[in-house]
Structure 1
Amino acid sequence: MSTEIRQLEPKDLWNKFADLNAVPRPSKKEERVIAFMKDFGRNLGLKTTVDEVGNVIIKKPATAGMEDRATVVMQSHLDMVHQKNNDTVFDFDTQGIEMYIDGDWVRAKGTTLGADNGLGVATIMTILESTEIEHPAIEALFTIDEETGMTGAMGLKGGLLSGGILLNLDTEEDDEIGVGCAGGIDITATRSYNQEETPEFKIGYAISVKGLQGGHSGMQIHEGLGNANKIMNRVLFDGFENYGLRISEIDGGSLRNAIPRESNAVVAIDAVHEDAFLLEMALVTNTIKKELKTMEPDLKIEVSKCETPEQIMDLGVQEGVTRAIYAATNGVYRMSADIPDLVETSNNIARVIIKDGKIHIGCLTRSSVESSKMDLANTLRATFELTGCEVEFSGAYPGWTPNMDSAILKVMAGLYEELNGEKPHVAACHAGLECGILGTNYPDMDMISFGPNIKGAHSPDERAQISSVQKYWTFVLEILKQIPKK
């Protein structure tokens, strides 16, 4: 498996990726990968430091003849999204990623691959280790916790880096040169509710929504993918009026930056309305599947009898929260008026937990315009407050404003066209890159983001294109040769 991956070209890069993927590195649990990177740098005899939040910085002098070039910061994040299929047995805290080759793609067995941003990390490791690659002075910056809060970038202090150019290797389209990104904010709605004893005349049913693709809640938010939390809410919405449905518990979604793939609920219905309930479930299931058949051909909505739950949620709260979730914006809120085809503002209803008298609804709102981000955040706040929830804003991070006069952009755009016979797609993206945050303490740094083709990031369908990695690697090597003089 890993042996097969290690034979791919460029071998040094794929070997570093295989080494990295053997180290468990879920977000918030990066201790092992920090130690791995620290040992890597020090074993090469390079100046290696770990800052107070856990970012690893490794510095390598310029190769002979490149000493007069500008110092380059090469940056990627160490953590990865930990998502797996429901039927996959895997422990992200202890196991390395199990990879395999599928045609022109590298995939993982039932889990996220970690190509986001492991291929960027592996690229930098390869350059640091090489004795043959020409390059200016390199400051390798490996940040932590990008996927669940960007706390590594936020905690990086000024003065640790001297480079004037930053190459962020966290873009997922190989024909794209990134010059801007969206900022984000977490919106969390919570409240308590009274539980009631389930009446004897009710019976229990389990409802599951599964088989959705999931994906990146920024880069793929415009694609029309199904959101398991919204689908589950639609299934439950009129249940009380039609067959006395009462919610006992809901557990939907997982990570704030992943479009929810699954949701599970336990409900109680009036036994006398069981036939009507099953008929209605079949009708609504078929309707939703028809609507989403193009984007979500594997969607399953399963309804099965289960043990009657002992307790159900207060009816008034149930009615309020299902209406609030229905009303809450999910998906694209506004397209950019200035950059064609760019999603400006969006929201992902990422997590819904209703259990044991507690409600938790977690959203991630993104926007490249700060005022629009807060407009949507306040829209969601008002929606959830109307049903009695307390709403907290947290984890806010800034966007990255495009600089179309960037010197390194001009170098890279010309070089891309020379290598590939076509112009690159110079664009801002609707995802949270660390460049905007890093720019707060390094405002004069000229920043660019690029990378190989990675599809399905943040989901078990994540895959990296082998031929694209080869194309990207050639681009990286040529960029390093053409870094401008100081």
Structure 2
Amino acid sequence: MKIDQLEPKSVWNNFSRLNAVPRPSRKEERVIAFMLGFGSELGLETFSDEIGNVIIRKPATTGMEGRKMITLQSHLDMVHQKNSDTQFDFDKQGIDMFVDGDWVKAKGTTLGADNGMGVAAIMALLESDSVPHPALEALFTIDEETGMTGAFGLKGGILKGEILLNLDTEEDDEIDIGCAGGIDVTASRTYNKKPGTHGDAGLQITVKGLRGGHSGMDIYKGLGNANKIMNRLLYLGLDYNMRIGTLEGGSLRNAIPRESSCKLNVGRKQVAEVMARFNELANAIKTELKVQEPNLTINLEEIKPSKEVMGLGAQSKLIKAIYAAHNGVYTMSASIQDLVETSNNIAKVLVKDGEITIACLTRSSVDSAKLDLANSLRSVFELGGFDVEFSGAYPGWNPNPNSEILSVVKNTYIGLIKEEPKIIACHAGLECGILGQNYPEVDMVSFGPTILGAHSPDERVSISSVQKFWKLLLEILKNTN
């Protein structure tokens, strides 16, 4: 079956149109122009603010003019991740989608369902001439995935809606009323480059095949982190006077790293012993992770030796710092059952041309706990001779269990689905907390269709779930006052 044959056709057709437009975070010029053109062609009030967010307003249908205006909000950007063997240019190509049973997937790349399904649903409402609704205000934010600068940059007084429906939750039986805040932790330092010696042999370690995923929503799963796995192998190499030439693992802070590659030199007489011990440890790691990461591969092969390598002092501090730095769940919430409170993702490690950079994303639903873990990471990296910078901090979203729109959404869900939804706070960065700073009186909830594997090439969205989500959204619009 083709995408344009799926129901609801208006949502899937708009998702296809959106996915034909390259829309990486911080390069949203084309998708901003696309959305401005979309709204203008419909004859609706359409404009962008000074930061690049797009706002489109649609009057209420007949008989619903006296109800509160609803702001429908989703973000335009998407995470760009692909498998290493996939040839794809995110800056030039649209996403190549296909149907697999109840799922829509992409060929070797992220799908963009996060948050493209929310955008597509809003587009379908804006262009509909048959759906009854109160006055609607569509807010399409930019750069949610890497800095939430769109939400941060939206000034007070622009939005007119009294209710905000964020369409960026990824389980269709959940209504989200809270989320974690986050902060970027970046450690950097230089190192002295040393020439490789005539007696060196070159080796390359490659870690790949990990599932990856969202560094907030998936952090509790105990998935493999390519940077941590690589570092265990490199720690073993300290026994052999190993020298790193280059090291590159991971890419985006909000994605659990799936791949890492390191080129290193060792004495030629030690190659056989090194390879034997590396393979022994690699097999042990694969056994540890065989349930979570059945497709993990760790390869060690001989290559040409690197002409320049790290000095031993800086190398030892790098490896020991990454070993000591926390990765994964740090604490669970004491107030909300099964909610991760605080976590860290060691997202990217780059060693090249005399420079080392380690990029982390620390999340927490408690601001003081977020800073506590960030300071723990700072301490570890500073002991290793790194300069540490905190940036990109954003607040969490405090739950309001007495919200009027929560009551409407919950009761609508029960009436439509005939079961109770889960009322949750999530360990991810939704824009509601930021938007609430300039719009504290706006009543907010978040919901959406089921999306699995977000921020990885395994990303997929359930077709039946999109149908459920669409029906729920239409009923909510009917039931708000």
Shorter-chain TM range is over 0.9
Q: Which residue of 2 aligns with 1:134?
A: 132
Q: Which residue of 1 aligns with 2:414?
A: 417
Q: Distance in 1 between matches of 2:337 and 2:25?
A: 33
Q: Which residue of 2 aligns with 1:362?
A: 359
The one-letter amino acid paired with 2:283 is N
Q: Which residue of 2 aligns with 1:192?
A: 190
Q: Distance in 2 between matches of 1:383 and 1:254?
A: 22
Q: Is residue 457 of structure 1 aligned with residue 454 of structure 2?
A: yes
Q: Which residue of 1 aligns with 2:162?
A: 164
Q: Distance in 2 between matches of 1:240 and 1:34?
A: 50
Q: Which residue of 2 aligns with 1:43?
A: 41
Q: Which residue of 2 aligns with 1:316?
A: 313
For residue 396 of structure 1, give the secondary structure of its aligned residue in structure 2. strand
Q: What is the CA-CA distance between 1:421 and the residue it aligns to?
A: 1.5
> 2:236 touches 2:278 (CA, 8 Å); kept in 1?
no
In the TM superposition, what whole-angstrom CA distance separates every residue of 1:312-365 from its partner, at most 9, and x where no partner exists? 101011111100000000000010000000000000000000111100000000
In the TM superposition, what whole-angstrom CA distance separates every residue of 1:367-422 from its partner, at most 9, and x where no partner exists? 00000000000000000000100000000000000000000001111111111121
Q: Which residue of 2 aligns with 1:342?
A: 339
Q: What is the CA-CA distance between 1:430 and the residue it aligns to?
A: 0.2
Q: Distance in 2 between matches of 1:113 and 1:238?
A: 37
Q: How does 1:110-189 map to 2 (within 5 A)?
A: 110-189=108-187
> 2:223 touches 2:292 (CA, 8 Å); kept in 1?
yes
Aligned with residue 8 of structure 1, among 3, 6, 9: 6
Q: Distance in 2 between matches of 1:133 and 1:350?
A: 43
Q: Which residue of 2 aligns with 1:17?
A: 15
Q: Is residue 286 of structure 1 aligned with residue 296 of structure 2?
A: no
In the TM superposition, what whole-angstrom CA distance separates every residue of 1:295-324 from its partner, at most 9, and x where no partner exists? 100000011100010111010111111000
Q: Is residue 353 of structure 1 aligned with residue 350 of structure 2?
A: yes
Unaligned runs of 5+ in 2: none
The one-letter amino acid paired with 2:253 is R
Q: What is the CA-CA distance between 1:240 and the residue it aligns to?
A: 2.4
For residue 219 of structure 2, give the secondary structure of its aligned residue in structure 1. coil
In the TM superposition, what whole-angstrom CA distance separates every residue of 1:147-173 from its partner, at most 9, and x where no partner exists? 010000000000001111100000000
For residue 222 of structure 1, give the secondary structure of its aligned residue in structure 2. helix
Q: Which residue of 1 aligns with 2:438?
A: 441
In the TM superposition, what whole-angstrom CA distance separates every residue of 1:219-246 from its partner, at most 9, and x where no partner exists? 00010100000000001103122x2211
The one-letter amino acid paired with 1:345 is T
Q: Distance in 1 between matches of 2:347 and 2:171?
A: 24
Q: Is residue 58 of structure 1 aligned with residue 56 of structure 2?
A: yes
Q: Distance in 2 between matches of 1:239 and 1:107?
A: 39
Q: Distance in 2 between matches of 1:80 and 1:196?
A: 40
Q: How does 1:397-416 map to 2 (within 5 A)?
A: 397-416=394-413
Aligned with residue 259 of structure 1, among 245, 256, 267: 256
Q: Which residue of 2 aligns with 1:80?
A: 78
Q: Distance in 2 between matches of 1:276 and 1:457?
A: 40
Q: Distance in 2 between matches of 1:275 and 1:5?
A: 52
Q: What is the CA-CA distance between 1:267 and the residue it aligns to?
A: 0.5
Moved more, 191-200 or 77-86: 191-200
The Cα RMSD (Å) is 0.7
Q: Which residue of 1 aligns with 2:369?
A: 372
For residue 237 of structure 1, give the secondary structure of its aligned residue in structure 2. helix
Q: Which residue of 1 aligns with 2:266?
A: 269
Q: Distance in 2 between matches of 1:167 and 1:368?
A: 21
Identity of aligned residues (%): 64
Q: Which residue of 1 aligns with 2:207?
A: 209
Q: Is residue 234 of structure 1 aligned with residue 246 of structure 2?
A: no
Q: Distance in 2 between matches of 1:238 and 1:274?
A: 13
Q: Distance in 1 between matches of 2:259 and 2:337?
A: 32
Q: Distance in 2 between matches of 1:477 and 1:392?
A: 45
In the TM superposition, what whole-angstrom CA distance separates every residue of 1:443-467 from its partner, at most 9, and x where no partner exists? 1111100000000000000000000
> How many pairs align?
481
For residue 30 of structure 2, give the secondary structure of its aligned residue in structure 1. helix
Unaligned runs of 5+ in 1: none
Q: Distance in 2 between matches of 1:422 and 1:50?
A: 40
Q: Is residue 387 of structure 1 aligned with residue 384 of structure 2?
A: yes
The one-letter amino acid paired with 2:442 is M
Q: Distance in 2 between matches of 1:298 and 1:178?
A: 32
For residue 221 of structure 2, give the secondary structure of its aligned residue in structure 1. coil
Q: Distance in 1 between matches of 2:157 and 2:373?
A: 35
